[in-house]
């Protein structure tokens, strides 16, 4: 495992805990409050709805974040001119000769 992969995994774990697990906990707390009449139905419903909305929004934020960041990193690596296949000893594709007409 490379260092950047470990760093990315820690970042993803913290992001997942902050967005999805917290929102799930709030929604489950709201469901548990439905059983207690002292809390009130409005408070329990509000907590459940906010938790569900946070869960849906967090899911879309995570997907969007990874798509945007992945695209930017891909474009950055493609523009650097660095070909990793040469380091790994893989055969390089033959360049196309554009000066000769293709048959």
Q: pLDDT tens for residues 19-64?
A: 888 999 999 999 999 888 888 899 999 999 999 999 999 888 888 8
Whole-angstrom distance, CA of residue 81 vs CA of residue 91:
17
* Band of pLDDT at residue 81, cut at 50, 70 and 90: low
Burial of residue 51 (CB within 10 Å: 0-12, 13-18, 19+) is buried
Whole-angstrom distance, CA of residue 56 vs CA of residue 100:
56
Of the ranges 10-14, 34-38, 65-69, 97-101, which one carries the lowest mean pLDDT score?
97-101
């Amino acid at each position: 495992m490379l260092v950047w992969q470990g760093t990315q995994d820690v970042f993803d774990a913290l992001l997942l805990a902050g967005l999805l697990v917290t929102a799930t906990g709030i929604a489950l707390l709201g469901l548990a409050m439905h059983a207690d009449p002292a809390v009130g139905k409005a408070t329990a419903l509000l907590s459940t709805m906010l938790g569900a909305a946070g869960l849906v929004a967090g899911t879309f934020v995570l997907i969007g974040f990874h798509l945007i960041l992945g695209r930017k990193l891909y474009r950055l690596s493609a523009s650097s001119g660095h070909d990793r296949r040469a380091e790994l000893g893989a055969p390089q594709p033959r360049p196309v000769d554009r000066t000769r007409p293709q048959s």
